[in-house]
Amino acid sequence: MRNVALPAGVIEYDETGSGPPVVLLHGLLMDHTLWDRVLPLLPQGFTYVRPVLPLGAHRLPMNPGADLTLRGQVRLVADFLDALDLDGVTLVHTDWGGALFLTAHGLDRRIARQVILPCEAFGNFPPGLPGKMVTLAAHLPGGLRLAARQLRIGPLRRLPMLLGQMTRRPVPDALAHRWTEPLLNDPRIRRDLLAYCRGPFDKRELVRDTEALRRFTGDAVVLWSPDNRVMPLEHGRRLAGLLPAGRYAEVPGAYVLSMLDEPETVAREIGRFLTSPSSVR
């Protein structure tokens, strides 16, 4: 793992390959290992960059007082791209939808193309039953630690309010333990996640910022999972319709985290997008 210092703190990231940059994001209580099964299947000729965002599974706490609200996290993604001097980026979203707002905030100058897997969008913040449970845990004393402990127990992890609606296939114990270890062992990591979960989420602003994708003129593919019950199917189609150069595709048989459920399909669709000629003139 490599490190880069940002105004909010030091971010870890993994980098492999060479060529145009592809930045693969992740969601709450996850890290870069979310993409481990897909990464070896992606085409050569690209630099794959996987940052560990401060969303609860990060191992390096952010600076005290750093803005880790939704708006602050969007700024952090832009700062990360700036710090690594990445241009012509293909940005890949999943689960966490905050980085969709780079365009709304005028921070998308380094983004050339986007791949949008099932993620938060419009007013779906926090998303569905799992999102509501995380929000509840964040507002109860000791709630985040309790939730993290439950995620370490296989039968509980598969309940709908935890990861049962996030993946069709059970999340392996090793992955669940890795993702929850920082939260359980470091109060500064819990502080960082609380700053995000307790931050403001204004529904009208969220819808407006999502709809600002009309201004993103680069190629985009919305790679949705129609069988998931957390990120509405109509949101995927609506996102594709907003993007001037967007198209819509599906990953049947997967839930939200399609890279865990159907890694071959996800890798094939992303690879096809990466290697296709640009439609933007």
Q: How far apart are CA 142 and CA 127, in angstroms?
A: 22
pLDDT for 279: 65
| pLDDT per position as a tens digit, 155-211 | 999 999 999 999 999 999 999 999 999 999 999 999 999 999 999 999 999 999 999
Residue 222, SS3 per DSSP? strand
Q: For residues 100 and 27, is the Cβ–Cβ distance under 8 A?
A: no
Can you tell me the mean pLDDT for 122-127?
Answer: 93
Q: Which two tokens stand for residue 81?
A: 């791209």
What is the distance in angstroms between the CA of the first residue and the CA of the last residue of the chain? 37
Q: How far apart are CA 135 and CA 60, in angstroms?
A: 22
Q: How far apart are CA 124 and CA 191, in angstroms?
A: 24
**Chain mean pLDDT for the chain:** 96
Q: How far apart are CA 231 and CA 136, in angstroms?
A: 19
Contacts of 72 (CB under 8 A, 6+ apart): 8, 66, 199
Residue 14, SS3 per DSSP? strand
Q: How far apart are CA 249 and CA 196, in angstroms?
A: 31
| pLDDT per position as a tens digit, 41-57 | 999 999 999 999 999 99
pLDDT for 281: 46
Q: How far apart are CA 75 and CA 270, in angstroms?
A: 25
| Residue 168 Cα distances to 77, 121, 237, 254, 271, angstroms | 29, 21, 22, 6, 23
Q: How far apart are CA 15 and CA 4, in angstroms?
A: 12
pLDDT for 103: 98
pLDDT for 206: 97
